[in-house]
């Protein structure tokens, strides 16, 4: 059974949602029959990479928030991540365009290393404060998960896999994705946002039952959540 996940490397709730899904899969008796497929999504495709601009400054300026308001929101996200065993250093995250990171992810998917690459990119961005638009950094991260050194160099020196990135984004638009993370289970059920593990538990069971019934895909039903980031780059955790 396939679970497709639209997410952006720079979306804090996408990493949290990944952990919550993984927690549910760990308890799922048919987890060895589940395939995870990562889909590209760019919250801000026109974002200019600027390592000299802090995320605090960027959010304050782009959202019109005060410094104290931004710090409070970032603190809430850090606490939420901590509950899932994740360590976020939001004060160290680098303002960077994620398009090249997604191209590397698409390359990794092509050689069955998509999940490893996605995890490494998340950790690099949120925990280690890496610049995910830096060629040398992406080369190193890709090699760490097992991507071929020379092939990866060729990818980074070109626009390879950009059509895959754009195709995922177009597909998201077609099925009505307005924010990420967005999880589609066997093309039948969807979860929008980093919802509680119980929601993933229930959806896994329902999707598996449909999968075993060998029914054809039909209209996607969606579970809503505020723990997501929208197309304007607004991340909510009310």
Averaged over successive runs of 10 residues, the pLDDT of the chain (238 residues) comes to 97 97 96 96 95 91 91 96 97 96 98 98 97 98 98 98 98 94 96 94 95 65 60 61
> Residue ranges of the domains in the chain?
2-236
* Distance, CA of 147 to chain centre: 20
CATH superfamily of 2-236: Glutaredoxin (3.40.30.10)
Host H or E run for residue 119 = helix 114-126
- Quote the strand ranges of the chain, DSSP E: 2-7, 35-40, 50-54, 94-95, 179-180, 182-185, 189-192, 221-223, 228-230, 235-236
Distances (CA, A) of 139 to 109, 131, 132, 143: 16, 12, 10, 6
| Spatial distance between the Cα atoms of 65 and 73, rounded to a whole number of angstroms | 10
Total Cβ atoms within 10 A of residue 134? 17
Beta strands per DSSP E along 22-142: 35-40, 50-54, 94-95
* pLDDT given for residue 228 in this prediction: 67
Q: What is the pLDDT of residue 222?
A: 55
């Amino acid at each position: 059974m396939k679970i497709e996940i639209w997410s952006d490397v720079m979306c804090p709730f996408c990493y949290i949602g990944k952990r919550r899904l993984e927690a549910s899969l760990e308890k799922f008796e048919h987890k060895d029959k589940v395939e995870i497929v990562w889909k590209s999504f760019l919250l801000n495709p026109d974002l200019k990479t600027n390592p000299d601009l802090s995320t605090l400054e960027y959010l304050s300026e782009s959202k019109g928030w005060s410094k104290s308001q931004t710090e409070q929101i970032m603190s809430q996200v850090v606490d939420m991540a901590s509950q899932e065993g994740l360590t976020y250093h939001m004060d160290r995250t680098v303002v960077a365009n994620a398009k090249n990171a997604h191209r590397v992810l698409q390359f990794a998917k092509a050689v069955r290393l998509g999940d490893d690459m996605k995890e490494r990119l998340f950790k690099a961005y949120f925990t280690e404060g890496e610049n995910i638009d830096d060629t040398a950094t992406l080369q190193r991260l890709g090699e760490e998960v097992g991507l071929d050194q020379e092939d990866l160099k060729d990818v980074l020196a070109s626009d390879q896999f950009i059509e895959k990135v754009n195709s995922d984004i177009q597909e998201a638009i077609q099925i009505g994705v307005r924010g990420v993370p967005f999880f589609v289970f066997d093309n039948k059920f969807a979860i929008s946002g980093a919802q509680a593990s119980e929601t993933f538990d229930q959806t896994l069971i329902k999707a598996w039952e449909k999968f075993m019934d060998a029914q054809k895909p039909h209209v996607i039903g969606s579970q809503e959540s505020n723990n997501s980031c929208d197309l304007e780059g607004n991340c909510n955790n009310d």
